[in-house]
Amino acid sequence: MIRINKELLNYVNHLYQLGTEGNIIEQTFEPTEQIIKSGQNVFSVYVIKSGMAKCYLTEDTGNDFIQEFFAEGEIFGEIEAIREDISFCTIEASSPLVLYKIPLAYFNELLLKNNVFNRLILKALANKINYKAIRHSYNQSHPVESKLLRLKANFPDFNKLLPKQEIANYLGITVRSLNRTLNDLKAKGLIS
Amino acid sequence: MIRINKELLNYVNHLYQLGTEGNIIEQTFEPTEQIIKSGQNVFSVYVIKSGMAKCYLTEDTGNDFIQEFFAEGEIFGEIEAIREDISFCTIEASSPLVLYKIPLAYFNELLLKNNVFNRLILKALANKINYKAIRHSYNQSHPVESKLLRLKANFPDFNKLLPKQEIANYLGITVRSLNRTLNDLKAKGLIS
DNA sequence: TAGTTAAAAGGACAATTGTCTCAAATTCCT
DNA sequence: AGGAATTTGAGACAATTGTCCTTTTAACTA
């Protein structure tokens, strides 16, 4: 649910310290600001220094489906950079955000010339595929109750961190179903 | 549903032609044979030369959820290689398969020393993330009827190619629901 | 070709989840 | 503090999807 990548953050932080040519700059955003918008061009790759953002797709039904919440060290814009395509999702600040902004040209240069960076990106991509595969499979094969228990197990205080609508959008259900299931779980003593 | 990667196939074919050190070898499998098994170590990365394989996860409910069907040029085992982890899915031949088998050591060497290969892998990974994100979002936000129409639009003859159980496992539904919905669509004249 | 096995189809019912609506609680302004 | 706006909670009902089971059809084997 809330993804981090400390290793990548450390490395980008290191690149930033080097400070050569001012290639990487810091940028801040306030909650609800959108950094990348679905269907638009992406001119930079971003790594989160601090704060949290949500990554979501808006469906033709009007529903938002939240892919993940990104926190320290998570990268976004890299898929679009590598595919040389417009964005397929929207990234929106969930809290005050501080980002490292890497221009496309420099990102590609790093990929080509910096083995360490290249490997970190390969790993970041492989991890995304891994968790996406597991999550999709789980979501398709289990009822809401199981999904909620799983979420609770991984993020005990999810219901304090996020509004109900966001939790529902993350689970791909309605708020009504979420409330109903939370009540069932409370009645069974499986949740506080 | 059936993924291909011609560009990667061409390049791996080219590497194979070079034939240095016999690093890449060809291997064949018959339907139902498993090339990679969930939970086990992966010793090679594979690229499909011809035929089709299914990539699926088995859930604790006993359900198989099919991530994708892989055909010419699709790569698998690369996630595990990059993450240095055991496999999280099973790859099983759906038809007679011919594969290029790339040993881990050579795969890593290529990633490090061959810019063209490296970029092709980055693209392959980015594409997987892209289509997974879009599919998961769609699946969570639409009823079975929409999923089926979408499948029909993308693969008009899916119901001739695959048994019902496989289609159901790909859509994350039961065969009963699949049949019911196919009937509804026929009644509405939306499907043959 | 008959007999066995597997795949496809669907009836009947139950469980799950969504839709619509309204009321209560909470937050946010100025 | 007082009123507006947002968030939360839930009742009543409808629609969707799953479970279980039986029948039909197709496919394979000896």
Give the whole-angstrom CA distance, residue B94 versus residue B96.
7
pLDDT of A21 over the 80 cut = no
Which nucleotides on chain D have any atom < 7 A from a protein Cβ? 7-12, 16-21
Chain A residues whose CB is inside 8 A of the B63 CB are 141
pLDDT of B21 reads 67
What pLDDT score does B35 carry? 97
- E strand or H helix at B99: strand B97-103
Interface of A with B in 116-155 (CB under 8 A): 118-119, 121-123, 125-130, 132-142
Is A38 at the interface with chain B, CB within 8 A? no
- Is A89:B138 a contact under the CB 8 Å cutoff? no
| Chain B residues close to A89, C-beta within 8 Å | 133
Interchain pair A132, B137: CB under 8 A: no
pLDDT digits (tens, 9 = 90+) for A120-138: 999 999 999 999 999 999 9
pTM for the full model?
0.96
Instruction: Please name the amino acid found at residue B155.
Output: F
Mutation target vs A (from B67, B125, B134, B178; most A CBs, 10 A cutoff): B125
What would the pLDDT profile of B101-155 be if each residue is shown by its tens digit? 999 999 999 999 999 999 999 999 999 999 999 999 999 999 999 999 999 999 9
Shortest CA distance from B108: residue in chain A = A119
Checking DSSP bridges between strand A90-93 and strand B64-70, what pairing results, if any? unpaired
Rg of chain A over CA atoms, in angstroms? 18
Per residue, what are the HEC states of chain A?
CEECCHHHHHHHHHHHHHCHHHCCEEEEECCCCEEECCCCCCCEEEEEEECCEEEEEECCCCCEEEEEEECCCCEECHHHHHHCCCCCCEEEECCCEEEEEEEHHHHHHHHHHCHHHHHHHHHHHHHHHHHHHHHHHHHHHCCHHHHHHHHHHHCCCHHHHCCHHHHHHHHCCCHHHHHHHHHHHHHCCCCC
Is the Cβ pair A172, B133 closer than 8 Å?
A: no
CB contact under 8 A, A125 and B129: yes
Q: Do B79 and A135 touch (CB under 8 A)?
A: no
Of A118 and A18, the structure prediction assigns the larger pLDDT to A118
Q: Do A136 and B135 touch (CB under 8 A)?
A: yes
- Chain B residue numbers with beta carbons less than 8 Å from the beta carbon of A140 are 65, 139, 172
User: In this complex, is the C-beta atom of A82 within 8 Å of any C-beta atom belonging to chain B?
Assistant: yes
Residue B45 with chain A: CB contacts under 8 Å: none
pLDDT in tens, B26-74: 999 999 999 999 999 999 999 999 999 999 999 999 999 999 999 999 9
Q: How far is the CA of A33 from the C1' of C1 (A)?
A: 74
Contact between residue A56 and residue A67 where contact means Cβ atoms under 8 Å apart: yes
